[in-house]
Structure 1
Amino acid sequence: MPAPLTQETLARAPKVLLHDHLDGGLRPQTVLELADAVGYTGLPADDAEALGTWFRQAADSGSLVRYLETFAHTVAVMQTPEAVQRVARECVLDLAADGVVHAEVRMAPELLTAMPIETAVEAMLDGYAAGARETGTTVGALLCAMRQADRWDEVAGLVVRYRDAGVVGFDLAGPEIGFPADRHPSAIALLDEAGAHRTVHAGEADGIGSIRGALDGARAERLGHGVRIADEVPEDGGPLGPVAQRVLDDQVTLEVAPSSNVQTGAYPSIARHPVDRLHRAGFAVTLNTDNRLMSGVTPTSEFVAVVEAHGWGWDDVQTVTERAVAAAFLGDGARADLLGRVREGFAAARA
């Protein structure tokens, strides 16, 4: 008999994380120390526990706009290369401590306005590399362009320039509504020409049209969130809508983050979240944290929540993890090594 699925056994299981924001995962104590170092006085609390509670409560408003406002504080304290490097290193340490063996962590370098954008990217990469050396957890950087800004070409160029130094792909973040994924076709063309990977936030705050735009306009390989594809997946098992059928047929990876979706008001609870319906229907569902500070989650806690709400077993957890391995922006050799590591880790966790 396999070991029971508990928080302890899930914590031991290997995890692969595809959707985690660097500026959404700071340690509260680090936020306080960095604010003190740079003279930032805008924090709403002055001790780590109270600050962590504030972030979660502010993010629990049920509004994506209010949720995104919490990032003003984390970005404000990340305005030096040393701060960025520290946050990136601690990100890897925290993920590794929770059983993550590979992660792709994203950040919009254009938000780090107090330094040249190249300096911001290099500081992130230095921090990830330091954390990887200490833990053995491998990390790839995803660089976000903000949909509402006009620096897509610049960010796409950085993805290509730094892809041999640890940058694994391009992302579009920020408001979906009103800012389509093909707004700057020159950036997409640059990525196409270089054969660069991309994932696009779509199907979180907006619906099927946003998902179609990410696929057609940006040629997304993965969908950040993507859960609104469920709008075309009837609960009664009826025929799928055309975009859902395409996403299923092409096995476009869904970077699902249930707790975050509940916080931003997309769904009322984990139990009502379509993660299980999509998984059962054969979609390429992966399970992710989005913003660990704002949501008060870890990769393990996200699995625990879905296991408890939807009755997942070991096979479900392992299948979702192996899907993440298949979708990671890795070379074939590194992917095969990671898959072996994951299967070995599950064999031990399930024993």
Structure 2
Amino acid sequence: MKAVVCKAWGPPDSLVVEDVADLVPGAGQVVVDVKAAGVNFPDVLTVQGKYQVKPELPFTPGNEFAGIVRAVGDGVTAYKTGDRVIGFTRTGAFAEQALAPVEALVPMPPGMDFEVAAAITLTYGTSHHAIVDRGALQPGETMLVLGAAGGVGLAAIEIGKALGARVIAAASSPEKLTVCKAHGADVLIDYTREDLREALKAATGGRGPDVIYDPVGGVYSEPALRAIAWRGRHLVVGFANGEIPKLPWNLMLLKGASVVGVFWGDFVRREPQANLAAMRQMLGWMAEGRLRPLVSRRYALKDSAQALNDMAERKVTGKVVIVPGATA
């Protein structure tokens, strides 16, 4: 089979596509023929050696995929050859085959497209864990989503609306904000042209957002936190801006606010049953049409480096996927 291989820490352009041996499942494992693999910002950091978790070199990047079960190992009874599944693993998705423990898989709902299925585990899983579990967003509350046109951002907008909240989307261009509105955002803020703190005051009558969903970091975190509502929750999801902000602690004191860490990958490892319950809830919302993942571009396996570069340069709206069977 063909697989993308990272042999040394470095930029995405250092990745190679090679022929490697077909995968063989061990006890409790499943091999899946990958039909599509989701691309996420942590993949960019992982190949550079900058992510919280460093896999052993060499490795195949990519951690979410959808496909068809090829083979099952001893003790696996939940799946059989030919089943359509969604999977999440630490590595290995950017390949024609992926190996996963059985607990890392969920059945694909009937009628779901492989590309959509490959685009939901990390982005929607992260956003659900952040908003429902860590942020405890309630119906009628207001949530600000920074970087709202990205994969986790659009997922956050849709989950916020599914929970009955008012959602403010902040992004870096009118085009991106148009996408946010199409996915349910109630208020739009272009933070490259508007003062974010003042715009939030105007949008909330001076009260501020109850929950801040922050996958961006950098220069936008502090003005957002300064505008937060009393007892607000600022969710630290990631640092797509590339800079980890240094926030004045007195801001949390003055607002009785909380800064809450969100690490979905470790949540999956530590609380797998809670994660599966969240995934089932979201698949139900998708069946009802309340969640509508946006796959904006598809790449062939040979173009995986370009997919990661586009992600790093923030050229991506919604989700992009790698399709191993594609030729261009």
Q: What's the TM-score once normalised by structure 1's chain length? A: 0.30
* Higher share in strand: 2
Q: What's the TM-score once normalised by structure 2's chain length? A: 0.31
* Higher share in helix: 1
Answer 1 or 2: higher relative contact order, Cα 8 Å, separation at least 6. 1
